Every structure is written in C-alpha cells, then in structure tokens.
Amino acid sequence: MGYGPFELGILIGEMPKRVVVIIAGSAIEDMEFLRQRIEAAAPEAVLCADGGARYTHALGLAPDLIIGDMDSLDDELLRAFKEKGVAVAPYPVRKDETDTQLALIQALAMNPEEILIFGAMGKRLDHTLANLGLLMMGLEKGVPIKLLDEGCEVFVMAGTATVSGEKGQTISIFPWGGEARGITLEGFEYPLEDATMTLARPCGISNRLTAESGRIKVDEGCLLVIHYLSIR
C-alpha cells in the first residue's frame, strides 16, 4: 500500500505547512509563475482582494473568498463567481482599510503558518508602500508573510532569518519601522557584524548571496528584506 505526501508526512511526524494565499489586484504578467507558485504552496485557502479575482478566473480556479469594495471587478465576472458558490464579502468604497488589508485580516483569522500575497507590488507606489506596511501585521501576530511577484519576494523579519536561493542572487535590506541595531549578515558578498542601519543611510542595498543561503540576524528593531529571484 502506498502513501501520498500528506499521509507520509503524518507517519514521519512532518505535517504540511498551513498556507493561505492572497491575490491582490496589481498587475501580474506571468500567469504560469502564479499557477506554479500556488500549486507549490498547496494552500488551505485562496482569498482574492477585489480585482485579484481576475487572476483566479484566468487560471480556471475558484477562490474561497472575494473581499473588498468590488470597484475593480467586472459585475458579470462577480456574478459568475457567485453562481459557482464562491463566498463574497462586499465593503463600501469609502472605508479605512484597503482591500488587501481586509483580505489579510481574514487570512490571519484562519491561523495559518504562512501567508503568500501576490499582485501587491505594482505601478502605484502608494499602494505598494501600504502593502509593505501590512507585513508588520504578520510580524505582530507571529505569522510569516511574503509579498511575491515574478521578480522578487519581500518579507519583514525580527531576530534571525535564513534566505535560501542561488549564489549571486541580489538581496537588499532596509531597517523597517525605525533604527535597526545588531545586524549580522553571513553568507553574503558584503558581510556585516553588529551593524546599525537607518533609512537615511541605506547601506543594505544590492548585497549578494555567496552560497545557496544567507543568514540575517538583527538584535533590535526589524528589517525589510527584498530577495530578487534571478541573478542580476
């Protein structure tokens, strides 16, 4: 008798990670990238922030929830999702939260071990900054959150983190939410030991992995890490 990955994980004591995927409405040009990343994540749920539902439609997927003010989603497409039994949570256009924030609140309520957000880094700098700020919600709740697009992944960290990739990939690091102290970088072209970073002194730009992984540690404060997925 054979066992699938889930059953085998139970037998050896390794349960699959509980992942929730959020798809926001910024431009996603490489749909195959999105498909592959969703399949690899095997998420417990896929939540769409308003117009992000366009991408699940293009992939032939039915999301578990569409949430937001629905100002970026075609009425006919929204009706088609409802007919398929997709849950919809409409909000007024005039509200304090962004649609992506509303989706993230719902995702955190599901007690996941990781949240992946696609379509959150587009041409609108204000929206991108807002979505980068949302990463702090995960840090406060103890749930890792990543923003991903075809070119990079972005996350916020405190304490210690390992970045895995390919030798030569670019990693940029910023202090996030104030000064960051006691920064140590190992496995990078430009290592650091017990360094301090401020936004006024961006010394963490364009570092590179010297192996398949690099270790980042910060003693005080937190860091925004941008990991480019190709070698530049």
pLDDT tens profile 53-100? 999 999 999 999 999 999 999 999 999 999 999 999 999 999 999 999
Say what the pTM is: 0.90
Strands 152-164 and 213-231: antiparallel
d(C-alpha 97, C-alpha 100), whole Å: 8
Residue closest to 128 by CA, chosen among 136, 120, 139, 117: 120
d(C-alpha 200, C-alpha 102), whole Å: 32
d(C-alpha 189, C-alpha 207), whole Å: 6
Query: Average per-residue pLDDT in the chain?
Result: 91
> Matching CATH topology for 15-150 and 151-232?
yes
pLDDT the model gives residue 173:
97
Range 87-116 average pLDDT = 96
Q: 48 forms bridges with which residues in the sheet?
A: 23, 66
Instruction: Give domain limits for the chain.
Output: 15-150, 151-232
pLDDT the model gives residue 1:
33
pLDDT the model gives residue 232:
61
Under the banding of pLDDT at 50, 70 and 90, the label for residue 122 is: confident
% residues pLDDT > 70 (the chain): 93
% residues pLDDT > 90 (the chain): 87
pLDDT the model gives residue 12:
43
pLDDT the model gives residue 14:
56
How is domain 15-150 classified at the CATH fold level? Answer: Rossmann fold (3.40.50)
pLDDT the model gives residue 2:
36
pLDDT the model gives residue 17:
82
pLDDT the model gives residue 15:
62
Higher-scoring residue by pLDDT: 11, 53: 53
Range 32-40 average pLDDT = 96
Range 163-188 average pLDDT = 96
H or E element at residue 31: helix 31-41
Under the banding of pLDDT at 50, 70 and 90, the label for residue 104 is: very high
Q: What is the CATH number of domain 151-232?
A: 3.40.50.10240
Under the banding of pLDDT at 50, 70 and 90, the label for residue 47 is: very high
